[in-house]
Amino acid sequence: MNAGDVIPEGRLWRIADPQRIGPGAPSFALRRFSVCLGEIPKRAQLRSRKMSQKSERRAIHVDQSELLCKKGCGYYGNPAWHGFCSKCWREEYQKARQKQIQEDRELAERLQREEEAAYASSQGAQGGQSSLTFSKFEEKKSNEKTRKVTTVKKFFTGSSKNLPKKDIKEAKAPSPSINRQISVETDRASKEFIEFLKTYQKAGHDVYKQCKIFLEAMHLKKEYNIEEQSEFTQDFYQNTADKLQMNWKLSPDKVETAMDQIEKFLMTRLYKNVFCPEFTDDEKKDLAIQKRIRALHWVTLQMLCVPVNEVIPEVSDLVVKAITDIIEMDSKRIPRDKLTCITQCSKNIFNAIKITKDEPASADDFLPTLIYIVLKANPPRLQSNIQYITRFCNPSRLMTGEDGYYFTNLCCAIAFIEKLDAHSLNLSEEEFSRYMSGQASPKKQDSDSWQEDACPGVKQMHRNMDLLSQLSERQERIANGARQLEKDLIDWTDEVSRGVQDIVQKYPLHIQNPSQALAAIDSENIEDDRLPPPLQPQVYAG
């Protein structure tokens, strides 16, 4: 460790620490520094301190004036604070800022005074003091608003450089050319459209011209009421279809394909302006229905009487497909494509019902299932999509065809969800409000058929686990039974032997010897002792 290392490090420490440091700081700092290096042996530490003191002395000799605060308050300064110490720097900085603010305010006030004077002179006598201030306030507000808008716009367009340019172009030429708002998709759509119209020859040319005129007119109507725009579009569809049929004598099939293409071409262009426009409350409705569906998350298949058995893997696959289809609707631009999504969803539902019930689905089966799917999917911007299709889809398709039928059913499903109450789910008011407030969940009651919203594999696993636990329970029971039986058997033998013993004790078997008995009889005669001894043969010396 040499002196050259220590000093910069010491300075670094000082820079890093924003605390005010007194003149004695360097040595303190160094001490702290060496403390940090606690592992260094004491002697080495001492040496290093000596060395650094030496070098410090040299550094101070050179930099003394530079190290201290420029203001001469006696504290050390810092290059990051322009040579001031932290306190002096803060003061300096504040002062400069105050000055700037003051200047700005003065400028603003001067401008305002000028403006007021100009306004007063232009208004003449008619504007009273109060109205003047109010208008000023209004003006300020609107100014603020526009400023906000532009910054927001800048924020969004900032990523691509050519967009602002287009804005300028748009502003310059109020009559819009058909090539405005070029995006890849619209570009492709118009190319396809032109290709398609070539097959219609003269009629195609006429249609193209009409479409162009229509688009320009629609652009001028941009600020209009959406219903007017819708009506205008519907009129255009009707007139074009009539014209194709009457003037160009095309077959109905051909008219239909042409109308589809026209719709596609027009709506890819108009989509941005007429889908969920700001001046309608479509978005509010979207949010409302979304919230409503979320609140109804607890509704089960059983409550709606849905004739679909999700335990069958094929059926649950179809249900998932149907949900995906209905969600996908939002990503399409053309009303007809959106309708196709609804139709596809409905077809999947029909298949699911057919597999479950093995008979063609009637409306009695279909509508509840569709409601269930909508509740499960909670499709994004549902109301906006419905409104958009109603307003801008070709009416002939919407009113009569199969697509129209499914669309109508979807509208019904939404209407049902909006008005749904306890009665329509066969629940009591109390139950319904409890579910709605989240105090209770019906899932727990019939968990067998519901097991979260898991995939069939997980559901199967849950079921298997249930079965396994049941099995082990039964095994346990069998083992217990066996043990019991064993115990019973042992007890039984014990009991039998005990019983036998008891009986044996109660009725002891004495097999008495008859001679013994006689002896006993004899022995009982106590008097015998007193009897004279039997005659003894006497030996006489004879």
Partner 1 sequence: MAAAGGAAAGVSKTYSFKVVLLGEGCVGKTSLVLRYCENKFNDKHITTLQASFLTKKLNIGGKRVNLAIWDTAGQERFHALGPIYYRDSNGAILVYDITDEDSFQKVKNWVKELRKMLGNEICLCIVGNKVDLEKERHVSIQEAEAYAESVGAKHYHTSAKQNKGIEELFLDLCKRMIETAQVDERAKGNGPSQSGAARRGVQIVDDDPQAQSAGGCCSG
Interface residues with partner 1 (CB under 8 A) are 227, 231, 234-235, 238-239, 242, 245-246, 249, 251-252, 305, 347, 350-351, 353-354, 358-364, 366-368, 395-396, 399-402, 405-406, 408, 411-412, 415-416, 419, 423-424
φ/ψ region of 180 (left if φ > 0, alpha if ψ in -120 to 50, else beta) reads: beta
> Can you tell me the distance from the alpha carbon of 37 to that of 91, in angstroms, rounded to the nearest whole number?
37
CB of 408 to partner 1, least distance (A): 6
Nearer to partner 1, 227 or 452 (CB): 227
Which burial class, exposed, middle or buried, applies to 389 when counting CB atoms under 10 A from its CB (0-12, 13-18, 19+)? buried
CB of 396 to partner 1, least distance (A): 8
- Cβ neighbors of 348 (< 8 A, separation 6 or more) are 318, 319, 321, 322, 325
> Can you tell me the distance from the alpha carbon of 6 to that of 49, in angstroms, rounded to the nearest whole number?
10
What amino acid is encoded at 398 in this protein? Answer: L
CB of 371 to partner 1, least distance (A): 9
User: What angle, 0 to 180 degrees and rounded to 10, lies between the N-to-C axes of helices 402-419 and 335-357?
Assistant: 80
Query: 15 near 80, Cβ under 8 Å?
Result: yes
Nearer to partner 1, 55 or 245 (CB): 245
Nearer to partner 1, 415 or 467 (CB): 415
Nearer to partner 1, 27 or 309 (CB): 309
CB of 308 to partner 1, least distance (A): 14
Nearer to partner 1, 143 or 225 (CB): 225
CB of 478 to partner 1, least distance (A): 45
> Can you tell me the distance from the alpha carbon of 61 to that of 67, in angstroms, rounded to the nearest whole number?
11
CB of 235 to partner 1, least distance (A): 6
Count CA atoms closer than 13 A to 244's CA, side-chain side: 27
Q: Token pair of 259, please?
A: 């109308």
Nearer to partner 1, 234 or 290 (CB): 234
Query: 272 near 181, Cβ under 8 Å?
Result: yes
CB of 226 to partner 1, least distance (A): 12
Nearer to partner 1, 320 or 353 (CB): 353
Q: Token pair of 92, please?
A: 């300096």
Query: 433 near 391, Cβ under 8 Å?
Result: no
C-alpha distances out from residue 502 to 492, 499, 505, 508, 510, Å? 15, 5, 5, 10, 16
- Cβ neighbors of 315 (< 8 A, separation 6 or more) are 308, 309, 352, 355, 356
Nearer to partner 1, 25 or 370 (CB): 370
CB of 460 to partner 1, least distance (A): 28
Query: 423 near 398, Cβ under 8 Å?
Result: no
CB of 125 to partner 1, least distance (A): 50
Q: Which of 270, 541, 66, 470 is nearest to 478 (CA)?
A: 470
- Cβ neighbors of 115 (< 8 A, separation 6 or more) are none
CB of 340 to partner 1, least distance (A): 15
Query: 414 near 351, Cβ under 8 Å?
Result: no
Nearer to partner 1, 69 or 361 (CB): 361
Q: What is the DSSP code string of 68-96?
A: B-TT-SSSB-BGGGTTB-HHHHHHHHHHH
Query: 289 near 414, Cβ under 8 Å?
Result: yes
CB of 267 to partner 1, least distance (A): 18
Nearer to partner 1, 181 or 238 (CB): 238
Nearer to partner 1, 277 or 368 (CB): 368
Nearer to partner 1, 296 or 412 (CB): 412
CB of 201 to partner 1, least distance (A): 19
What amino acid is encoded at 385 in this protein? Answer: N
Q: Which of 419, 413, 421, 425 is nearest to 379 (CA)?
A: 413
CB of 399 to partner 1, least distance (A): 5
Query: 254 near 196, Cβ under 8 Å?
Result: no
Nearer to partner 1, 203 or 367 (CB): 367
Count CA atoms closer than 13 A to 405's CA, side-chain side: 11
Q: Token pair of 174, please?
A: 């109020």
CB of 395 to partner 1, least distance (A): 7
C-alpha distances out from residue 427 to 265, 423, 445, 455, Å? 49, 6, 14, 28
Query: 85 near 25, Cβ under 8 Å?
Result: no
